Amino acid sequence: MVRNIDIREFADLWRNYPVVDVRSPNEYRKGHIPGAYNLPLFSDEERAQAGTRYTRSGRLASVQLGLDLAGPRLSSCVKAAADLSKQGPLLMHCWRGGMRSSSMAWLLDLAGMDVDVLKGGYKAYRSHIRNEFSTPVPLIVLAGKTGCGKTEILQAVRRLGQQVIDLEQIAGHKGSVFGGLGMQPQPTNEQFENDLFEVWQQIDPDRPVWIEDESLSVGTVSIPRPLFNQMMASPVIEIDLDFGMRVARLIREYASFSADDLVSCIIRIERKLGGDIARKASEAVRKGEFDLASSILLTYYDKAYDQSLLSRAGKVMRTHVHLTEDDPEKNAHILLNNSFLHVIAKTYGISYLS
């Protein structure tokens, strides 16, 4: 049986049943629903051919060409879909809920499978998640200068039972110009939003959500504007750690990378650092003087951080917490016991913070 369902019903089901994406491999790589299986009706080249035929000769000619192109692989598609259908009804989509998903659904129905086809296709899914990022949630923004260990503190906060959105983990980047070192290639911006929504939809809006203060861009991807606007308007807990501890943390994180990699990162911010300062930092890296190089770079990042906070000065609730040790577990407990959380709870009208 084939049903055509809207995005709301589809969203209620996709965590429990297999999602089948019949778009071409390149469309899938650019962005897909997390966990979706790609059973492409056409290869990338075949899709282009069918599209050209449709434009030049109309629908019938395009359908005839599509049958010729897809025919040889339909048997393997049915076999793969049959294996997936053991998990439950298949949730299927193409780009706009058009010919590709309808044709594949018809075939699988003929083979005795239950298929739910998403009206509007992947385009409807993308529109849905963009709208969902506008849903108000009780965010707590953890801010602090580079080297304070914010990401590790958030991970400890999560282990203590709190809700956390780890933007850097999802983006595959640590945020600064050095943030891509040692990381896998970042997802496309589209896939970043899809992966972020996978976390977003599991949030309990009656409990606080901890999130790290970030720029709009995290490496090559961008935080969805509705979420970023919420971050800019949410209460901020600003932490600080002694300069020497922050230098030591940077050395631990980055001294193992090659001098060439580190210097190439410094060159990317040469205009902002100034030529002389960039040269001194690069020379220090080449000589293995990581204390000096880290101190130079932290001074630059500290100035940039101070400027970014000015844009929110006086506009949001904010508290400052001085940390005396670089111990994420201990610091997480300090933050969770801070009286500022009671003010946040009252503001949001929530009571559960521990």
Active site amino acids:
94
Task: Report the phi/psi class of residue 219: left, alpha or beta, with left for phi > 0 and alpha for psi in -120 to 50.
Answer: left
Question: Taking the chain, what is the end-to-end CA distance rounded to the nearest angstrom?
Answer: 47
Q: What's the chain's length in residues?
A: 354
**Interatomic CA distance for residues 192 and 95, integer angstroms:** 18
Per the structure block, which two tokens stand in for 81?
Answer: 């879909």
* Residue 323 burial (CB count, 10 A): 20
* Residue whose entry in the numeric block shows the structure tokens 């109309």: 58
What pairs with residue 240 in β-bridges?
A: 322
Helix (H) or strand (E) holding 278: helix 275-286
Task: Report the phi/psi class of residue 133: left, alpha or beta, with left for phi > 0 and alpha for psi in -120 to 50.
Answer: alpha
**Interatomic CA distance for residues 209 and 331, integer angstroms:** 17
Name, in order, each residue with C-beta under 8 angstroms of 63's C-beta and a sequence gap of 6 or more. Answer: 99
**Interatomic CA distance for residues 79 and 163, integer angstroms:** 40
Burial of 128 (0-12, 13-18, 19+ CB in 10 A): middle
Looking at residue 307, its amino acid is Q
Backbone φ and ψ for 121, nearest 5 degrees, come out as 60, -155
Task: Give the chain's radius of gyration (CA, Å).
Answer: 25
Whether 316 and 235 have beta carbons less than 8 Å apart is answered as yes
